[in-house]
Amino acid sequence: EDQVTQSPEALRLQEGESSSLNCSYTVSGLRGLFWYRQDPGKGPEFLFTLYSAGEEKEKERLKATLTKKESFLHITAPKPEDSATYLCAVQASRGAGANNLFFGTGTRLTVIP
Amino acid sequence: ETGVTQTPRHLVMGMTNKKSLKCEQHLGHNAMYWYKQSAKKPLELMFVYNFKEQTENNSVPSRFSPECPNSSHLFLHLHTLQPEDSALYLCASSPEWGQGDSPLHFGNGTRLTVT
């Protein structure tokens, strides 16, 4: 069964304190792994898509990496405006779940000034 | 300004009411989706429409009834809901259902409270 697990559930960082969020997945052939950011009262906003192990993508203070079993979202020198819930989702290439996204429960990040 | 607009933003309804949620996308996409987001749970896919045809119904109770009159508009008709249906309902769109390199674009959701 396709599954996505994110950890930690919540993370509090001081401004400038770098850290990483984890997304572990089990899927019948990975077609794509997606990272989204969700602010309170808003819908998820797309950040990155990763397709194969070893791939990395960066955007400002965020860098996403992918292995065959997990993805990390590295946050370097975070600022308070990076506070949000970060969602991971996977799309399978085969099986009953193919074509649809399976989401994790998210990591709620708080960056303290 | 998101390319996917949902109305209303908030809705409170009794268990015997009938109401509808509306979603409109201005991105020229052909696939539209309804998701349910509850606290501490993953986003749950409810329905998918691709080129106005329903392609996915994820075992959703019949008290939720989707409608997709064209590729730009999606509705979710609600009737005889239960308190456990209270959640954030998110609409999303993508160029075409199933394309792995096309991320979903979400609206800001309708916060539904069933009393």
SS3 B66: strand
pLDDT of A99 reads: 75
SS3 B44: strand
Q: Is A34 on the interface with B (CB under 8 A)?
A: yes
A71: its two tokens: 């993805």
Residues A43, B107: C-beta atoms closer than 8 Å? yes
Q: Is B31 on the interface with A (CB under 8 A)?
A: no
A38-89 per-position pLDDT tens digit:
999 999 999 999 999 999 999 999 999 999 999 999 999 999 999 999 999 9
Burial of residue B67 (number of CB atoms within 10 Å: 0-12, 13-18, 19+): middle
Query: If you search the block for the tokens 């989706």, which residue do you land on?
Result: B33
CB B8 within 8 A of CB B107: no
pLDDT of A97 reads: 66
pLDDT one digit per residue (tens) for chain B, 115 residues: 459 999 999 999 998 889 999 999 999 999 999 999 999 899 999 999 988 888 888 889 999 999 999 999 999 999 999 999 999 999 999 998 877 667 899 999 999 999 9
Q: Taking CA atoms, what residue in A is nearest to B107?
A: A43
How many angstroms separate the CA atoms of B109 and B90, rounded?
Answer: 4
Residues B90, A44: C-beta atoms closer than 8 Å? yes
A15-38 per-position pLDDT tens digit:
999 999 999 999 888 889 999 999
CB B31 within 8 A of CB B54: no
